[in-house]
Amino acid sequence: MIIALLASGTLYASHSDIAFSPAVPRLGGLVTEIGAPDGNGGVHRFRARQVGPYYAPANFPPGKLRGWRLTFVGGERFAKTFEVMSNTDHEFVVKALDVPLDGVAINDMFIVEDINSAEPINNSGEPTK
């Protein structure tokens, strides 16, 4: 019975019919090198390594994180968000959503998450459009 509940894709909490979407895909990272400033003096590139649970891959999936939101969870840019424009297994190019990367330092931690994959769910368990 538990397997059937987990396979349904929709989770319900308490005694209500409030539906919760499956988790948003996300990965953790640690800045290892800061890129050179662009022509306007802003930094938009950095190198990183993936961090996370022991089963997390050592590198990021190359070219798969375009459009994902990157949020710093430590350092001078804490809680600042960026959009991933491109990535390799260890390098990110981002577009500032509110501020440039200036101030990001080696060992600053971040999360990158696919917010576009999260779909709100209505009370019948169907994704809303």
What's the domain range around 67? Answer: 23-117
Q: Quote the percentage of the chain above a pLDDT of 70.
A: 67
Q: Residue 18 domain-assigned?
A: no
The residue count for the chain: 129
pLDDT of residue 44: 86
pLDDT (average), residues 12-32: 69
Q: Residue 7 domain-assigned?
A: no
3-state secondary structure the chain: CHHHHHHCCCEECCCCCCEECCCCCEEEEEEEEECCCCCCCCCCEEEEEEECCCCCCCCCCCCCCCCCEEEECCCCCCCCEEEEEEECCCEEEEEECCCCCCCCCCCCEEEEECHHHCCCECCCCCECC
- pLDDT confidence tier of residue 19, bands split at 50, 70 and 90: low
Amino acid type, 21: S
pLDDT digits (tens, 9 = 90+) for 27-74: 999 999 999 887 776 778 999 999 877 666 778 999 999 999 999 999
The structure's pTM equals 0.71
The Cα–Cα gap between 124 and 6 comes to 17
Q: Residue 46 domain-assigned?
A: yes
Q: Residue 8 domain-assigned?
A: no
pLDDT at 99 over 80: no
The Cα–Cα gap between 25 and 117 comes to 8
Answer yes or no: are the C-beta atoms of 114 and 22 closer than 8 Å.
no
pLDDT digits (tens, 9 = 90+) for 75-96: 999 999 999 999 999 999 998 7
User: Which residues neighbour 1 within 8 Å (Cβ) at sequence distance 6 or greater?
Assistant: none
CATH code (residue 53):
2.40.10
pLDDT of residue 72: 94
Q: Residue 77 domain-assigned?
A: yes
How many domains would you assign to the chain?
1
pLDDT of residue 2: 46
pLDDT at 4 over 50: no
